[in-house]
Structure 1
Amino acid sequence: MSLALLTAGMCALVALAFLVPLAAGLGDRAREEALADAARRSALVTGALAVSTEPEVVQRAVAATGDDPDTRPVVHGLTADAPVARAGAADLERARAERRSVVVDVDGGVLRLDPVVLGDRTAVVEVFVPDPALDGGAGGRWLLLLGVAAALVGAAVLVVDRVATRTVDAARGLVRAALAIGDGDLAVRVEPSGPRELAEAGYAFNRMADRLVAARTDERELVADLSHRLRTPLTVLRLDAEALESDDTSVGSFSEAELDRRRGIRRIRQAIVTLEGEIDVLIKTTRKAVAHEAGPAMCDVSEVVRDRMVFWAALAGDQNRPHRVTGAQLRIPAPVPRAELAAALDAVIGNVFRYTPQGTAFEVAVSRRDGYVAIRIDDAGPGIANPDRALRRGASDQGSTGLGLDIAKRVALQANGSVSIDRARLGGASVVMLLADPEATPRQVSRFGLVGRAVGRRKSSLDPD
């Protein structure tokens, strides 16, 4: 509002600076027009005098100048009798002597005196111009100009108020969005509006917010990836800790050295369990945040399988586990982030190392068929007694958190797929992750209602040979 008032004051000063000279000029023009009209009326009489000095002729010429007796011309020096007039003797003599028109100020207006030479004498025609004719309606003219000035100031205030309102609203929107960003709401954006500078600031703000979201997403993806990488060697530590002797100190009698050794083993195992729990929480938190902020992503399934098997193959060699990877030679895209799929593979393969004896063989196979990408992890262990219960609970019957199946299931659902557990050809469990193939041609729905059998055949055909 203060901006509008300031603008109103400036507009009023500008209007006065233009309108005062304009009013003065209009007043001068009105005076000139009134004197020109007096000259015209005087010319009617002087023209008649040039033709004849007869009183009747002069009287008719005077009557032709107008109906107002106050402004009718008066002729001096035509007769011996001095007519009633406003001009003084000195002014008349001045006009005769100078032989030119003279304008004289008198009470109530001005006089125009025009000398006319008539042989051996000089007559003077007097025309009176009253002040109202000289002003030309100065009062109405000033009122009109003041009205124009007021209209201009009002229009300027209205326009500036609208512009100021848009500017203030845009500035307040930027302030609110900046405060929201400061409070952690990175999803807030502004609608660029207002003057060009503020609109550019709005676009710059939105770009900054997008960069912040991308930076935080990259940071969380890095945390998630590091968490997955930590969980893999942690599995090795846990397996090595389980290979140690018993840490039970409640049964039997032991020496102090033996008690310290068993307590040390217990502390190692408890520390590994605690660390596994912390890493599991970190993985779940970062995965949820990354999935929420980054949305769907793409990765090469074959590349992820080959990369993760580099580590697991080394560990399998240490435990004398036969292993094989099939179908991971060509590029196979899947609509999941790379870190997500790597975490799911590490979790499921880690379960193989955790719940099967050393020397147990396992196999990882990748295939692409009928609109889906299938990742199958088979082992030659004892298998899973109740697959439906394991998938329903997302937990293990062996006292663990069941994170492996939970991670695999959530990754598959994120890619519009599923997870199934069956008996493997190696004799143990077979965990199959189905991921939607983003490059597959959409399949037409069967017109014969054989959807159930078609789906069953498709899923069975996805098991790699």
Structure 2
Amino acid sequence: MLTAGCCAVVALAFLVPLALVLGDRARDEAIADAARRSALVTGALAVSTDPKVIERAVAASGGDPATRPVVHGLGDGTATGRAGAADLDQARAERRSLVVDVAGGAARLDPVVLGDRVAVVEVFVPDAALGGGSRWLLLAGVAVVLVGAAVLVVDRVATRTVDATRGLVHGALAIGDGDLGARVEPSGPRELAEAGHAFNRMAERLVAARADERELVADLSHRLRTPLTALRLDAEALDPDDTSMGTFSEAELDRRRGIRRIRQAIATLEGEVDVLIKTTRKAVTHDTGPAMCDVSEVVRDRMVFWSALAGDQNRPHRVIGAHLRIPAPVPRAELAAALDAVIGNVFRYTPQGTAFEVAVSRRDGYVAIRIDDAGPGIANPDRALRRGASDQGSTGLGLDIAKRVALQANGSVSIDRAQLGGASVVMLLADPEATPRPVNRFGLVGRMAREAREQKGAGRRWPRQRNGR
């Protein structure tokens, strides 16, 4: 309604002056036509005052008989015009053409000097010829058409503006409710379209900022794992904490209870760190989608931490093939968590002094990460790969983390007997820079094992342990 009212006001503001201008023009044209017809009669009067000549001139002026010229002042008393005596006397006295208002229209009075007398030629112009009611009806119709067209156009423009504004409102509410994937389709007037583009850029920056924060939390959590593992191993090296069997002094009971509290606190802290890592990994993956990382860089980074702990426990170790850039289609934090899980199992389930190695290779459309150890091995590889299954009293989530990362990269995880004598865990990740081809993944594992034997044949061989894990 407000839009229609505004359009009507604009139309009236345009049409009223137009109607006045057109009215003046129509009046001028009608008076000019009357002057033309009057000139025929005045010309005849200038030649002769014979009534027959005057009648022929009046008839020649054409038009409606009611609007034909009338001559006053010839002395025959037959003139029956519409102009009053005062108007006629004014025209005679001033001896100039006059246009006066009369009943039903207007009259043009043209004086003609005939010797000692002055005749007046009157031409009547009705209101219809002056453009009266018909002109206003026409303009009223034009006004209705213009207002209707304006309402339609303004309605379409207003609809686009309202839709664009509602889209921005809904997008802002979605962002406020935590849906950082909400975006708007920039539309409407230029200003609103620019606001839509700015809103989308803001949302993308929010997603990037939150992803960066979660990546930082995940990296810090990974870094906590190394000192936690060292603390746990040191705590396990302490005396037993069992107080249920035997007789102990009060001081010994307090010492054993303190050892138990230390071990429980470390176990609780490890569990909290694992939950934090898994939560941030899932959140980062959900926010950022597929990501890429350099496998060699991640392996070198994680081995900096595990090497320090290996030195404390006199564990021989080495890294093979991590000097070249090898991309993989997994987020860096995910791959780091998988490596920590597998290498952490080596430290957790093998005696101190047990050797291990980490190898990275790339062939046949896959990137392979192999972690071998010289420990007792894994008696049931299939059970070890099942989520939550463990023969060692743990949560059984370590290898499952590695398995999920491999599946995310269209790969797999396998467990075999290592040349060092213990377990060999191999993670296969799809190579994003190669065309995947159907290959026997376990055959690839076998080839990796043969390569490892050839490398070890030329160099140092780790002590091989035969006892089962």
Larger displacement relative to structure 2 (423-432 or 96-105): 96-105
Question: Could you say if the C-alpha distance between residues 418 and 394 of structure 1 is closer, same or farther in structure 2, counting changes exceeding 3 Å?
Answer: farther
The residue type paired with residue 75 of structure 1 is V
Shift of 1:425: 0.8
2:46 paired residue number: 50
Shift of 1:14: 3.1
Alignment match of 2:381 (pick from 362, 366, 387): 387
In structure 1, the residue corresponding to 2:66 is in which secondary structure? coil
Contact 2:365–2:431 under 8 Å retained in 1: yes
1:124 paired residue number: 119
1:114 paired residue number: 110
Q: How big is the alpha-carbon RMSD for the aligned residues of Structure 1 and Structure 2?
A: 2.3
Shift of 1:83: 3.9
Question: Which residues of structure 1 form unaligned runs of 5+?
Answer: 446-450
Contact 2:42–2:121 under 8 Å retained in 1: no
Matches of 2:288 and 2:218 in 1, distance apart?
13
Contact 1:42–1:125 under 8 Å retained in 2: no
Matches of 1:91 and 1:381 in 2, distance apart?
134
Shift of 1:289: 1.4
Question: Could you say if the C-alpha distance between residues 248 and 112 of structure 1 is closer, same or farther in structure 2, counting changes exceeding 3 Å?
Answer: closer
Alignment match of 1:460 (pick from 421, 446, 463): 446
Matches of 1:317 and 1:342 in 2, distance apart?
21
Contact 2:370–2:427 under 8 Å retained in 1: yes
The residue type paired with residue 127 of structure 1 is E
1:372 paired residue number: 366
Matches of 1:345 and 1:393 in 2, distance apart?
17
Contact 2:41–2:121 under 8 Å retained in 1: no
Deviations 1:238-297 (A, max 9, x none): 111111111111111110001101111111111111112111211221111112222222
Deviations 1:175-208 (A, max 9, x none): 1211111111111111111111111111111111
1:396 paired residue number: 390
Alignment match of 1:274 (pick from 251, 268, 272): 268
In structure 2, the residue corresponding to 1:35 is in which secondary structure? helix
Task: Report whether the alignment pairs 1:263 with 2:252.
Answer: no
Shift of 1:424: 0.8
Deviations 1:100-145 (A, max 9, x none): 3333444444443333344x34451422314424532x11211221
Identical aligned residues as a percent: 82
Deviations 1:31-53 (A, max 9, x none): 22222222222222222233333
Larger displacement relative to structure 2 (99-108 or 254-263): 99-108
Matches of 2:295 and 2:274 in 1, distance apart?
23
Contact 2:377–2:421 under 8 Å retained in 1: yes
In structure 2, the residue corresponding to 1:253 is in which secondary structure? coil
Deviations 1:215-255 (A, max 9, x none): 11111111111111112211111111111111111111110
Shift of 1:55: 2.7
Matches of 2:63 and 2:237 in 1, distance apart?
135
Task: Report whether the alignment pairs 1:286 with 2:280.
Answer: yes
In structure 1, the residue corresponding to 2:425 is in which secondary structure? strand
2:165 paired residue number: 171
Larger displacement relative to structure 2 (86-95 or 328-337): 86-95
Contact 1:31–1:133 under 8 Å retained in 2: no
2:428 paired residue number: 434
Question: Which residues of structure 2 form unaligned runs of 5+?
Answer: 453-469
Matches of 1:311 and 1:93 in 2, distance apart?
124
Contact 2:44–2:54 under 8 Å retained in 1: yes
Contact 1:31–1:135 under 8 Å retained in 2: yes
Larger displacement relative to structure 2 (148-157 or 358-367): 148-157
Alignment of 1:355-366 (within 5 A): 355-366=349-360
Alignment match of 2:144 (pick from 139, 150, 156): 150
Contact 2:222–2:277 under 8 Å retained in 1: yes
1:70 paired residue number: 66
2:130 paired residue number: 135
Deviations 1:333-367 (A, max 9, x none): 22222222222222111111111111111121221
Deviations 1:144-165 (A, max 9, x none): 2122223222322222222222
Matches of 2:79 and 2:448 in 1, distance apart?
132
1:448 paired residue number: none
Alignment of 1:199-214 (within 5 A): 199-214=193-208
Alignment match of 1:187 (pick from 181, 184, 200): 181
2:460 paired residue number: none
Matches of 2:63 and 2:187 in 1, distance apart?
68
Larger displacement relative to structure 2 (65-74 or 216-225): 65-74
Contact 2:71–2:119 under 8 Å retained in 1: yes
The residue type paired with residue 376 of structure 2 is P
Alignment of 1:16-31 (within 5 A): 16-31=12-27
Matches of 2:298 and 2:425 in 1, distance apart?
17
In structure 1, the residue corresponding to 2:67 is in which secondary structure? coil
2:463 paired residue number: none
In structure 2, the residue corresponding to 1:70 is in which secondary structure? helix
